[in-house]
Amino acid sequence: MKLRTKKKSPKYIFVTGGVLSSLGKGLTAASLGALLENRGLNITLMKMDPYLNVDPGTMNPFQHGEVFVTEDGAETDLDLGHYERFTNVSLKRENSVSAGQVYETVIAKERNGEYLGGTVQVIPHITDEIKQRVRKVAEGKDVAIIEIGGTVGDIESLPFLEAIRQFRFDAGEENVLFIHLTLVPFLGLSGELKTKPTQHSVQKLREIGIQPDLLLCRTDRFIPKDIRAKIALFCNINADLVITAKDVANIYEVPMMLYEQGLDEKICKKLGLSQRSRGLQKWAKVVETLSKPKAGPIQIGIVGKYVDLKESYKSVSEALVHAAIANQCSLDIQYIDSEKITASNVESLLGGLSGILVPGGFGNRGVEGKICAIRYARENQVPYLGICIGLQLAVIEFARHKCGIAKATSREFSNTGEFIIDLMEDQRRVARVGGSMRLGLYECKLTPGSLAEKVYGKRVIQERHRHRYEVNNHYRKVLEDSGIVFSGHNAEMGLVEMMEIKNHPYFLTCQFHPEFRSKPFSPHPLFVGLVKASVEKDQARGKSKPAGDSLKKNGSTRARLSRGGTKSQPSATL
């Protein structure tokens, strides 16, 4: 008779935040995932957002930041990008949940009669749906880390907080841990750290019925022992479970900072996990490379229309940082508003750049400025990487100025002209906006001998897409006869995936979004190639300086890496 072994219960870690938004819950969850994965644990991560949108796909980037795309084509919150960059997980649609999705599912069940005519309520129907999604994500994993979006006290997040309150009883206290991230500001006038915001935040959380097991206190300095004791006393927690979440020079120091305070050790002890840490040598190497680069700085210009909120290009800016690590150089990212670029000022705005990048985007605002930037890069031998619309506009620019097709345009921008970029036939019948693009992982075959094949080092690749418009195949021959090289194709759909031009140090464009697959330990080759070509360009014109000179001038690499954040939260902090 074969004995059945009891199925091992996964452990659940819920990360909440208080006082204000943008404290760094996403980076905290990602760093925690890195630390636990480093112990050999099989982890997953999940983001729960309280907004009623079904997904962030149609939300304004100025409000929400970038939309991250998973391999299975889900449009998700940008925090999933942090999760994938910091760990080895490959997340799916189920790892991102919004209140809109939950309510949509519950209402659909009610319409289908699944509640047998019963009254449908937030408790238990909405909370049960939330808990069911958490259990599904955690299946087969050692640890599931679930970040609750928003701030404690927001009415929108109450169903999620109620669901995780119940979860401790459903899954067992030994399997659930609550981490609360809060703010301990330093007031210069009084010269002291203020604990009241943290006290009130924890008090609000306890009113809901959740007692945090660990407190992460966001601050600009390490919290002294007496202040930690005060926080512990008023928050009903042991002082050694009050952790400093201090500002750091770049985000890749966060796992090390938390590791040095024993956060993973404390979590494993409370959850009964015995795996030992393998050390953080690979993270230390990344941080050392960022702090002591051998070359640079190089200036890469990101030309876009969402530059007032740098989080709109978060994955792009991080992929450039990864490429700088691979090339051991310091990086100065310049964000340039494409609406301000004209033929008369393009030289003054772009003349000092080492490389130019046009990221993805939608709509016709700022398009002509991007085309000016692309033409400048092509004619002046400036390394250029175009992503999604950056490919489409490069094809339009070439058609106008090299092929003589003066009215070359995209159907996205105009109702008249020659549509070099157009909708696929099946897209013309699509009425819905949300989730209706070409989304997720698609195969691309590279042309032998092309720059694309050289950069990738292989013939067949897979990349993530998020777009609706394609290169019009009716114009391919005239474009190729004029010098364009379409170096990547989707054979199944007959679509262009990559374009490049010859006799240029680096002019490479792609229809997909390579930034979504870049990690600090596995930088994406297209970004590595752009940064490498930019370094070589600066060295050729005698602009590149020893790294030590740039460090003396700017004080530290923080000045070089902190430019990618929002006004409220620089990317170089937690």
Q: What is the pLDDT of residues 241-261, one digit of tens each?
A: 999 999 999 999 999 999 999
- The identity of residue 281, as a single letter, is Q
Catalytic choice (82, 465, 467, 513): 513
Domain annotation for the chain: domains and CATH numbers: 11-284 (3.40.50.300), 294-422+438-561 (3.40.50.880)
CB atoms under 10 Å from CB of 430, counted, come to 12
How large is the C-alpha radius of gyration of the chain?
A: 25
Is 388 a known active-site residue?
A: yes
What pTM did the predictor assign?
0.91
Dig out the tokens for 310 from the structure: 């740098």
Would you state the pLDDT for residue 548?
42
pLDDT at position 84, please? 98
Query: Do 55 and 106 form a contact (C-beta atoms < 8 A)?
Result: no
* pLDDT of 430 above 80: no
Distance linking the first and last C-alpha atoms of the chain: 54
372 is catalytic: no
Q: Convert the pLDDT of each residue in 31-62 to its tens digit.
A: 999 999 999 999 999 999 999 999 888 787 77
- Give the span between the Cα atoms of 80 and 29, in whole angstroms: 10
Q: How far apart are CA 141 and CA 414, in angstroms?
A: 49
Q: Which of 388, 403, 444, 510 is catalytic?
A: 388
Q: Which amino acid is residue 145, in one-letter code?
A: I
Asked whether the beta carbons of 435 and 426 are under 8 A apart, the reply is: no
Mean pLDDT of the region 355-375: 95
* Region 538-554 average pLDDT: 57
Is 492 among the residues known to form the active site?
A: no
- Taking alpha carbons only, the member of 392, 359, 404, 406 closest to residue 468 is 392
Mean pLDDT of all residues belonging to the chain: 90
Q: How confident is the model at residue 426, as a pLDDT?
A: 58
What pLDDT, in 10s, does the model give residues 181-224?
999 999 877 789 999 999 999 999 999 999 999 999 999 999 99
Are residues 422 and 468 in contact, defined by beta-carbon separation less than 8 angstroms? no
Tokens 């699944």, residue? 114
Give the Å distances, CA to CA, from 108 to 102, 104, 357. 10, 6, 43
Determine contact, residues 99/159, Cβ cutoff 8 Å: yes
Choosing from 75, 465, 515, 524, the catalytic residue is 515
pLDDT tens digits, one per residue of 470-518: 999 999 999 999 999 999 999 999 999 999 999 999 999 999 999 999 9
